Amino acid sequence: MQKQKRLILVTNDDGYQARGFAAAVELAREFGDVIAVAPATPQSGRSQAITFGEPLYLDKRHEEEGLEIYSFTGTPVDCVKIAFDHLLLDRKVDLVISGINHGSNAAINVLYSGTMGAAIEGSFYGIPAVGLSLTDHSPDADFTAAKEYGRRIVQSVLESEREDHGPLCLNVNVPDIPLVEIRGLRICRQCRGLWREEFFPRETPNGRRYFWLTGAFNNYEPDAPETDEWALRNGYVAVVPVQIDMTAYDYMPYLERILK
């Protein structure tokens, strides 16, 4: 009996021209046919944003046996939606890969990240989703290690029997060090911390003031070895399973008491 070929959806937030996207497409092709839909322009920091009230354009950028690449003028989440709810309406998708992101999405960044917004959205559709990020922002980052660990993780996820603890979505961050120096992977929890922003005021040529947002991450628990930030700083690939139920159950008894 011939096994049906797998189908992988690839997306990202840096846009369809990013090198990390090409790396994710190459990685995905090792596992089956690939439909890739990425934003037409960079959409970093777009979180789980969706677009309504604006028309969106879909363009096929490349087609060959087993691969189609599209750009879409919306957010990363819009890309996932147009893939599932338009392009792939009659096809079974086996996995979503979002990335490979140029830059870390560890800790609180999971909430701001367009890469992870797309991965979370993918997991809503009942299939596993893997967000892959490399802790190097540069356009010419070296994706060798991220691809190798991405490959191992994708293979394990595709070949393992599922357990139903809700949608399976992984936030995978790879440290920016040579593959041989990586000490392995760690299953982690999201590190606590906050971006403390600095706003740099400037002036336009005609004297109007504007601001650039910049910031630095304050790690509230730098010594906690169970966190993704610790893993990355100590040479490990950090894998955090991500949930979509945002309910803070611990707060419920308190609220029952103070609000009723």
Which residue from 3, 140, 180, 208 is in contact with a second copy, where contact means CB under 8 A? 208
Contact range with a second copy by CB under 8 A, out of 16-24, 25-33, 90-98, 156-164: 156-164
Quote the least distance from Cβ 179 to a second copy, whole Å.
17
Q: Which is nearer to a second copy, 14 or 65 (CB)?
A: 14
Per-residue exposure over 107-119, b if at least 16 CB sit within 10 Å of its own CB, e if not: bbbbebbbbbbbb
Which contiguous run of DSSP H or E holds residue 156?
Answer: helix 144-159
Rounded to an integer, what distance in angstroms lies between the CA atom of residue 55 and that of residue 220? 42
**Binders of a second copy among 125-154, rule CB under 8 A?**
125, 152-153
Number of CB atoms found within 10 A of residue 193's CB: 18
Asked if 3 touches a second copy (CB under 8 A), the answer is no
**83 vs 91: CA distance, rounded Å:** 10
Euclidean distance between CA atoms 35 and 92, whole angstroms: 12
Of 44-103, binders to a second copy (CB under 8 A) are: 44-53, 55-58, 74, 77-78, 81-82, 85-86
CB of 164 to a second copy, least distance (A): 10
Mark 161-200 with x for binding to a second copy (rule: CB under 8 A) and - for no binding.
--x-xx-xxxx------------xx-x-xx-x-x-xxxx-
Whole-angstrom Cα distance, residue 44 to residue 202?
23
Contact 133, 239 (CB under 8 A): no
Q: Contacts with a second copy in 219-238 (CB under 8 A)?
A: none
Type of residue at 12: N
Using CB under 8 A, count the residues that bind a second copy.
83
The nearest distance, CB 65 to a second copy, in angstroms, is 25
